[in-house]
Chain A
Amino acid sequence: MPLPDNYLEYPHRRYGMDHDRYDWSDMFQRKPIAWPNGARIALSLVTHVQYFPLDMPSKPFKAPGALSMPYPDFRYYTNRDYGNRVGVFRVLRLLAEKGLKTSFAINGIIAKRYPALLRAVVEGGHEIVAHGLDMGKVHHSGLSEEEENAIVVEALRLLREESGQAVTGWLSPGRAQSFNTPDILARNGVAYGLDWANDDLPYEMRTGAGPLVAMPLAYETDDRVVADEYFQSEPQWVQQVRDRFDVLYRESAEGGGRVMSLPLHSWVSGMPYRIEYLREVLDYILSHDGVWNAPAGEICAAFRASN
């Protein structure tokens, strides 16, 4: 069948973006961001804590890291759950040694399944970010607004009640959204999201319930992406994270504050053979003057204050 002629029509061909969520802007032309105490780099560590249900659906798509063997897939179910039982505590211990207060993006269902895990994160002084309900509940445009809202409400409720924190950050499973997700998040008291990969700095999105800040989260130097999608070694991950930091640090000398984001997974970096590579990365970054470590929510607030 030939294509209909409207395939050659472009209703959103206009100045700026082809949607209304945010305006185009050139990062290098923005007003420089001033971090607290004149810091050059805001270091934003975000550790994913995830639960992959044994019966997770494959439609319309699976979140990365999903179970892939025939049911019951003990192999990946348990490998991922290792992060919740062992890996996360290894990461927490390292962060405590370094005195770092960071963010943990946690599936809501973890609050119910493993409340002790949540307590350990809170007691470590870290911020809880809602990471959806579980890794089988991806957000997509096939969900009605009511269905998606129910997932958001439940995830936030579980995490807020168990942690006692306000929980105003959000990271969707697989960083997947529907057309409605930012509206639903803002309506439920979420101040910032970590899904969008289009910037090295925070910027504001429009929603039907006020602005939502998009916080950077470096997709391509994510520990899981490098290990499980690129099949690169840990030393190669360390090198890339260092190289990323070096460029951002250099740019901060003239361009204003930068965000060095580092997405981690308790079932990836929390492995015994990987944890010392994470230490290497942290030692390198923290050896520089002007590095300010904070949970993503504090960095978001400082961005708003600077703006």
Chain B
Amino acid sequence: MAADAKPMQSDLGLYDYLPWNERPKIVWPGNKKIAVWIAPNIEFYEYDPPNNPTRTPWARPNPDVLQYSHRDYGNRVGWQRMMAAMDRAGFRGSVSLNVALCDHHPEIIRACADRGWEFFSHGIYNTRYVYNMTIEQEREIIRDAFDTVRKHTGQELAGWLSPALSNNFWTMDILSEAGIQYTCDMFHDDQPMPVKVKSGRLISMPYSLEMNDVIVYNTQKVTPRHYGEIIKRQFDQLYKEGAESGTVMCIPLHPYLVGQPHRIDAFAEAIEYIAGHDGVWQTTGREIAEAYHASGAYDAFNAAMAAHKAEGGSR
């Protein structure tokens, strides 16, 4: 085992269990019922990436030109269709960014920045994983991400989605230590909540596997029109529940998938449907994190959790 390794645990204890019916009410700005944010994963997959012992980037030997070119479609064609659909519905994006894309395709970065989109980090490349890294190596990835995004956009990173969803048991601690405010790597809830880290006030931001087009299209093999349907149903339910306490809905996207001609219209129609509701806060990950803290929700959650434990609740 490497110096930083330790035996596997059944649970890393990163978040508390506070039953849905005992939670303090979350109030979004303007008393909106639901915060809806869209997270386009603007990614760069390498043609000839090095191997990681835990995960091989491509199923076929390098170069896997079919899969590589399929991803590249997003940066040549798909991103424009996705962006146009979001513009029409009045959504800004929170870009889940492989930060090397700033170097490869500054034109895409500029188009996003011009629209006031947020950039958060999705690692350097989607073909480089943090598996088997030392803590120091992973800290270097975080530094690189902060520096690259600052240099190209002037933005200070607030959010993080680990590259290709690869993580280590210490990842949340070192993200928070570096100043990251929200993580998108955990899919356990429809509301933001504190993540228990060694320092800082990191929160978990509802992202979603099930609304994520890469899961929908590549894993679940859903049709484009059905994707439009499930987005609307997910929204309808969270909108209704948001009348009691603010909810969050995220739509994670990949322009190489949603930006295909046979898919874009069903998606566009779904987000226009969402935007047509009065109680919707069309926002970004960064703004949700800020509102969560500013409204006192972070402290209220911790206080309610302490009370729940004092009454004998588990954990």
Query: A20-36: which residues lie under 8 A (CB-CB) from chain B?
Result: 24-28
A241 to B65, Cβ gap below 8 A?
no
Could you list 6 A-B pairs, sorted by A, with CB under 8 Å? A24-B76, A26-B76, A60-B60, A140-B60, A179-B62, A239-B223
Of the candidate stretches A74-82, A104-112, A191-199, A296-304, the one touching chain B is A191-199
Q: A140-B60, A247-B265 are in contact. List 16 more A-B contacts (CB 8 A).
A: A2-B132, A12-B47, A13-B104, A15-B104, A27-B80, A174-B66, A176-B64, A179-B63, A196-B66, A197-B66, A198-B77, A199-B76, A200-B77, A219-B66, A239-B225, A247-B262
CB proximity of B170 to chain A, nearest CB, Å = 14
Contact A7/B104 with A236-B223, A243-B262 known, Cβ cut-off 8 Å: no
Q: CA of A18 to CA of B3 in the docked complex: distance in angstroms?
A: 34
CB proximity of B48 to chain A, nearest CB, Å = 7
Q: CA of A176 to CA of B75 in the docked complex: distance in angstroms?
A: 21
A61 to B70, Cβ gap below 8 A?
no
A283 within 8 A of B: no
Interface string of B116-141 (1 = CB under 8 A from A): 00000000110010001110010011
Query: A208-234: which residues lie under 8 A (CB-CB) from chain B?
Result: 219-221, 229-232
Interface string of B186-199 (1 = CB under 8 A from A): 00000000000000
A18 to B47, Cβ gap below 8 A?
yes
CB proximity of A151 to chain B, nearest CB, Å = 16
B76 cross-chain contacts in A, Cβ below 8 A: 24-27, 198-199
- Tell me the total A-B contact number using a CB cutoff of 8 A: 150
B266 cross-chain contacts in A, Cβ below 8 A: 243
CB-nearest residue of chain A to B47: A19
A60 to B61, Cβ gap below 8 A?
yes
CB proximity of B174 to chain A, nearest CB, Å = 15
Contact A241/B223 with A15-B104, A174-B66, A199-B73 known, Cβ cut-off 8 Å: no
B241 cross-chain contacts in A, Cβ below 8 A: none
Contact among A19, A199, A241 with B262 in the assembled complex (CB-CB below 8 Å): A241
Q: CA of A240 to CA of B66 in the docked complex: distance in angstroms?
A: 21
B63 cross-chain contacts in A, Cβ below 8 A: 19, 141, 177-179
Q: CA of A50 to CA of B75 in the docked complex: distance in angstroms?
A: 32
Contact A220/B46 with A142-B61, A197-B66, A198-B76 known, Cβ cut-off 8 Å: no
Contact A13/B140 with A219-B66, A247-B261 known, Cβ cut-off 8 Å: no
B105 to A24, Cβ gap below 8 A?
yes
Q: CA of A230 to CA of B224 in the docked complex: distance in angstroms?
A: 12
Interface string of B89-128 (1 = CB under 8 A from A): 0000000000010011111000000000000000011001
CB-nearest residue of chain A to B256: A198
Contact A198/B69 with A7-B52, A13-B100, A13-B103 known, Cβ cut-off 8 Å: yes
A244 cross-chain contacts in B, Cβ below 8 A: 260-262
> Which 8 interchain pairs have the tightest Cβ spacing?
A244-B262, A247-B261, A198-B72, A198-B69, A196-B69, A230-B221, A175-B66, A243-B262
A3 within 8 A of B: yes
Chain B contacts to A: CB under 8 angstroms = 2-4, 44, 46-48, 50, 52-53, 59-66, 69-70, 72-73, 75-77, 80-81, 100, 103-107, 124-125, 128, 132-134, 137, 140-141, 144, 221, 223-225, 260-266
B80 cross-chain contacts in A, Cβ below 8 A: 26-28
A16 cross-chain contacts in B, Cβ below 8 A: 104-105
B103 cross-chain contacts in A, Cβ below 8 A: 13-15
Contact A141/B262 with A8-B137, A27-B77, A198-B76 known, Cβ cut-off 8 Å: no
B104 to A24, Cβ gap below 8 A?
yes
A61 to B60, Cβ gap below 8 A?
yes
Q: CA of A241 to CA of B64 in the docked complex: distance in angstroms?
A: 26
B69 to A140, Cβ gap below 8 A?
no
Q: CA of A61 to CA of B72 in the docked complex: distance in angstroms?
A: 22
B105 cross-chain contacts in A, Cβ below 8 A: 16, 24
A86 within 8 A of B: no
CB-nearest residue of chain B to A4: B50
Contact A232/B221 with A2-B134, A18-B46, A244-B261 known, Cβ cut-off 8 Å: yes
Q: CA of A8 to CA of B128 in the docked complex: distance in angstroms?
A: 8
Contact A140/B65 with A3-B137, A231-B221 known, Cβ cut-off 8 Å: no
CB-nearest residue of chain A to B99: A13
B107 to A1, Cβ gap below 8 A?
no
CB-nearest residue of chain B to A24: B105
A289 within 8 A of B: no
CB-nearest residue of chain A to B127: A18
CB-nearest residue of chain B to A229: B221
